Structure 1
Amino acid sequence: MFYPQADAQAGASRQRYVPLRTGANLPASIFNLFTLSTTVSYALDIWGGERRNVEGLAAQADAQRHALAAARLTLAANVVNTMIARAAYADEIAVTRELIALTDEQIRLTRAQVNAGASAYSAVLSLEAARASLDASLPALEQKTGEADDLLATLAGRYPAERAPPELSLAEIALPAELPQTVPSELVRRRPDILQAEAALHAASANIGVATAALFPGVTLSASGGFDATRASALFGAAGKTWSVGASITAPLFHGGALWYQRKAAIDAFDESSAAYRQTVLSAFAQVADTLRALDHDAAALDAQSRATDAAREALRLVTIEFETGAAGYLQVLAADQQYRQARLAWVQASAQRLQDTVALYAALGGGWGDSRQR
């Protein structure tokens, strides 16, 4: 790396030494040997391999940091989306139960008309079919609500049995004051997945430098010093001092093409990372464009549904006035009320869709569309 490397070593051994190894005709000796030494080495970064290695490690750390940010962003989006869905299911269940109550009242009054000979029995059957259809929709909504509660507990790091679902309605969830119509590229580039791909590309580039430097000679400076003694009590004596200073050059001569292929593999890995980065950027821009288009459609659909709900509410108000003055029957009031509840049900679904697409835009832009310094 950029700094010298230092290591310390201590050892104790019992040895049998044979002087014949050095040509001395002396008897073998058995003794204890205690050693303590420190070694310092420094590899001269002549070809920049160490610098590129440190650069690559830093890029890998950046990639992991951005991966963590992406996971947090995904978690936040999933939590909000699930809460929106849960609130929508609760509102749909409430409106459906109101529709069931209205349909029951219509059935009761229509049966009375049939018994009086003022209406055909087919009208009762039509209402009962509508009532059965409403009944059939409730279990699915309740199942979805339970699944949303379990998912919220899981996302919060709790067991489903420990869930504490929030009592939330769509009316309590507000849209941002302003939604962007167009998005500058700088906002998209701060997405964690793009930053992660960019860091991976940086690391791949650094690996090319490391592999290239390995093709050239390396120079290492080293120094060591320590003590040797046959008794532990004499380990730090002056007679046992040892030291060495030196330099070494290591040059690759023949590795069977391994170093060349390692460099080629690093270049190919860089090309792969470059393609992955480009694909990530293109996918990000496509996701943002799709989400903005979806929000435009959601706004139009929600506006139309809001107008339909307002019209149904006004119709109910007028029919109620007519009923109070004797100009309309109670069945007409129930029918107008039912139409209003159905319009509300459609409004709930349209509103939930727009909220979820807003969350999708928030995630697609890497956490919002305001100044990142203000977030």
Structure 2
Amino acid sequence: MFKTMTNIQLKLSTSLSLATLLLSGCMVGPKYHAPPPAPAAEAPVVTYKESPTQFQETDGWRVAQPQDAMLRGKWWEVYNEPELNALEDQLNINNENVKQFFESFMEARTLIAQARSELYPTAGIGPSYTRSRSSSNLGVSGTANPGHESSLGSLPANISWEPDLWGRVRNTIHEQQYSAQLSAADLENEKLTEQASLAEFFFEIRGQDALQRILNDTVEADKKALELTQAQYDTGIGDRISVVEAQTTLQSVQSQALNLGVARAQFEHAIAVLVGANPSQFSIQVKPLLTNSPPIPIGMPSALLERRPDIAGAERKLAAANAQIGIAYAAYYPTLTLGASGGFESSSWKHLFDWPSRVWSIGPTVSETVYDGGLRRATVNQFITTYNSDVASYRQTVLTAFQQVEDNLAAVRILSQQILKQEQATSSAEEGLKLETSRYETGIDPYIDVVTAQTTLLSNQETLASLHVQEMTASVQLVEALGGGWDRTQLPTPAQVSQKLTKAETTIQK
């Protein structure tokens, strides 16, 4: 009795071990380790080279404190523009490009479920019924009962399963999970791009409104100057050329004022498309902007790799490429398929489900490619070169990220200092125009000198307004280069992207 039980236990243990081996298998191919962002080991960078903290000149734009802080969530709120905040909220809901990337992310998640389905057996049924008659003119033939009619009904069921012995299916699942994470990072990067574009267009409109106010004020001043020169000419004090010069100056500024409407309308239409609105039914109120860029927390350079969704996406693409190499290596190993089929078969419906009508078959199949002309080796080499290419792409993305941060840090810092000088130049031009106007009114200088002073002032005012716009758009680009309010902890995990889609996520849009 003891010996019998021991044999049973041994067989059961062997069966369980075999089942465990079939279910777990082994994983072939290289294990994934994220590569360093640069091929050469370098000392860690403590701060950005173009940060204002690295320069002795302290006037102008400053970064927010503390240095290791970063923007989070709705980064555009740092500009304290309620209208911009409302537009950004609309964009996050209604932007069609963002919706496209969201649906691509949903599609990537379905590919995980498709890959996971290969871990499980496949079962099916195929009931059939045929009525046939053989030919009576067969002569000498092996066909039984020539010229007779026959019926055959069958209700078969079959099941097959290919155990994932070498990790081909598991590597495929990992590849799709990493690809879904890449799609999630692409979605966040697209959101950031659209949000930054909206902010830039918004500040461009505010800049156009500021220029419009400057030109409108100039038009009014030029009208008064024309009235003065005309009155002097009518009374015989002035000359005709002064009147013509005043008319020319006024008409030129009026033309400039009209031209500003083109750019403003185009920026307004672009914002309408970004927020998913019909440009024909969308408008932004006129509000001149002449403010400085707010302090922005730039953080530490070492944190940039965790803040940019495009860098996170490039790294996930690497992980997916590594999984592809494992899939290619699995082709070197044999494939085991476990199959079974059974059912009922009878020439009459009456006896179809009788026990003697049963049929069945069961058995494993092992297949191995003996010769493929180098196909497997070429496939492995293909995915290795793809991986190496993705490594270079990842490192280039990192380098580009640092370049963009440094570029925009320099732009905001230098523009803020230029604005201070331009404000002084504009103030001097205003004083110069007042002095020249007084000299003209007292008959010391000709009117052409007043025109020159007016042109100088207008040019300085326009330059100052343009610099303010450049500084604001550069600060938006700096925020974008820093990754906005995103960080890598917001990237969904493989488990999260593998969750079953909800009914709302799979509803067809009307």
**TM-score per shorter chain, which class?**
0.7 to 0.9
For residue 174 of structure 2, the aligned residue among 55, 64, 68 is 55
Q: Aligned equivalents of 2:289 and 2:217: distance in 1?
A: 18
Where 1:45 maps in the other structure, the secondary structure is coil
Partner of 2:419: 302
Where 1:44 maps in the other structure, the secondary structure is coil
Partner of 1:328: none
Counterparts in 2 of 1:26 and 1:338: CA distance versus 1, 3 Å? closer
Counterparts in 2 of 1:229 and 1:83: CA distance versus 1, 3 Å? farther
Percent identity between the aligned chains? 25
Partner of 1:82: 201
Gaps of 5+ in 1: 323-330
Corresponding position: 1:279 with 2:396: yes
Counterparts in 2 of 1:73 and 1:229: CA distance versus 1, 3 Å? farther
Counterparts in 2 of 1:98 and 1:67: CA distance versus 1, 3 Å? same
Partner of 2:468: 351
Q: Assess if the C-alpha contact under 8 Å between 2:152 and 2:345 holds in 1.
A: no
Partner of 1:255: 372
Counterparts in 2 of 1:237 and 1:285: CA distance versus 1, 3 Å? farther
Corresponding position: 1:14 with 2:130: yes
Where 2:229 maps in the other structure, the secondary structure is helix
Partner of 2:144: 26
- What is the identity, as a one-letter code, of the residue corresponding to 1:6? T
Partner of 2:272: 153
Where 2:126 maps in the other structure, the secondary structure is strand
User: Which deviations, in whole Å up to 9, do the C-alpha atoms of 1:290-311 show, x marking residues without a partner?
Assistant: 1111111121122233445566
For residue 337 of structure 2, the aligned residue among 213, 217, 220 is 220
Q: Assess if the C-alpha contact under 8 Å between 2:312 and 2:488 holds in 1.
A: no
For residue 165 of structure 1, the aligned residue among 262, 283, 286 is 283
Q: Assess if the C-alpha contact under 8 Å between 2:209 and 2:289 holds in 1.
A: no
Where 1:27 maps in the other structure, the secondary structure is coil
Q: Aligned equivalents of 2:365 and 2:239: distance in 1?
A: 107
Counterparts in 2 of 1:134 and 1:255: CA distance versus 1, 3 Å? same
- What is the identity, as a one-letter code, of the residue corresponding to 1:60? S
Q: Aligned equivalents of 1:243 and 1:167: distance in 2?
A: 79
Partner of 2:213: 94
Q: Aligned equivalents of 2:288 and 2:184: distance in 1?
A: 35
Where 2:165 maps in the other structure, the secondary structure is coil
Query: TM-score, with normalisation over the residues of structure 2?
Result: 0.61
Kindly report the root-mean-square deviation, in angstroms, between the aligned alpha carbons of the 2 structures.
Answer: 3.6
- What is the identity, as a one-letter code, of the residue corresponding to 1:70? N
Partner of 2:188: 69
Where 1:136 maps in the other structure, the secondary structure is helix
Q: Aligned equivalents of 1:357 and 1:199: distance in 2?
A: 29
Q: Aligned equivalents of 1:126 and 1:82: distance in 2?
A: 37
Partner of 1:136: 255
Deviation at 1:224, TM superposition (A): 3.6
Counterparts in 2 of 1:36 and 1:341: CA distance versus 1, 3 Å? same
Q: Assess if the C-alpha contact under 8 Å between 2:336 and 2:365 holds in 1.
A: yes
Q: Assess if the C-alpha contact under 8 Å between 2:337 and 2:366 holds in 1.
A: yes
Counterparts in 2 of 1:229 and 1:171: CA distance versus 1, 3 Å? farther
- What is the identity, as a one-letter code, of the residue corresponding to 1:210? I
Query: TM-score, with normalisation over the residues of structure 1?
Result: 0.81
For residue 5 of structure 1, the aligned residue among 117, 121, 126 is 121
Deviation at 1:56, TM superposition (A): 0.9
Q: Aligned equivalents of 1:172 and 1:233: distance in 2?
A: 92
Counterparts in 2 of 1:118 and 1:189: CA distance versus 1, 3 Å? farther
Deviation at 1:121, TM superposition (A): 4.2
Q: Aligned equivalents of 1:272 and 1:194: distance in 2?
A: 15
Corresponding position: 1:178 with 2:292: no
Q: Assess if the C-alpha contact under 8 Å between 1:110 and 1:119 holds in 2.
A: yes
User: Which deviations, in whole Å up to 9, do the C-alpha atoms of 1:115-142 show, x marking residues without a partner?
Assistant: 4454454444443333233123223211
Q: Assess if the C-alpha contact under 8 Å between 2:119 and 2:164 holds in 1.
A: no
Q: Aligned equivalents of 1:174 and 1:13: distance in 2?
A: 83
More off after superposition, 114-123 vs 247-256:
114-123
Partner of 2:165: 46
Q: Assess if the C-alpha contact under 8 Å between 1:223 and 1:244 holds in 2.
A: yes
Judging by fraction of residues, say which structure has more strand. 1
Q: Assess if the C-alpha contact under 8 Å between 1:33 and 1:230 holds in 2.
A: yes
Corresponding position: 1:111 with 2:227: no
Q: Assess if the C-alpha contact under 8 Å between 1:98 and 1:341 holds in 2.
A: no
Deviation at 1:100, TM superposition (A): 0.8
Q: Assess if the C-alpha contact under 8 Å between 1:99 and 1:338 holds in 2.
A: no
More off after superposition, 348-357 vs 234-243:
234-243
Q: Assess if the C-alpha contact under 8 Å between 1:102 and 1:334 holds in 2.
A: no
Deviation at 1:183, TM superposition (A): 4.2
User: Which deviations, in whole Å up to 9, do the C-alpha atoms of 1:250-292 show, x marking residues without a partner?
Assistant: 1111112222211111112112222222222211211111111
Q: Aligned equivalents of 1:366 and 1:140: distance in 2?
A: 36
Counterparts in 2 of 1:17 and 1:241: CA distance versus 1, 3 Å? farther
Q: Assess if the C-alpha contact under 8 Å between 1:211 and 1:259 holds in 2.
A: yes
Gaps of 5+ in 2: 1-115, 439-446, 491-510
Q: Assess if the C-alpha contact under 8 Å between 2:158 and 2:339 holds in 1.
A: no
Counterparts in 2 of 1:240 and 1:371: CA distance versus 1, 3 Å? closer
Deviation at 1:178, TM superposition (A): 3.4
Where 2:363 maps in the other structure, the secondary structure is strand
Q: Assess if the C-alpha contact under 8 Å between 1:34 and 1:231 holds in 2.
A: no
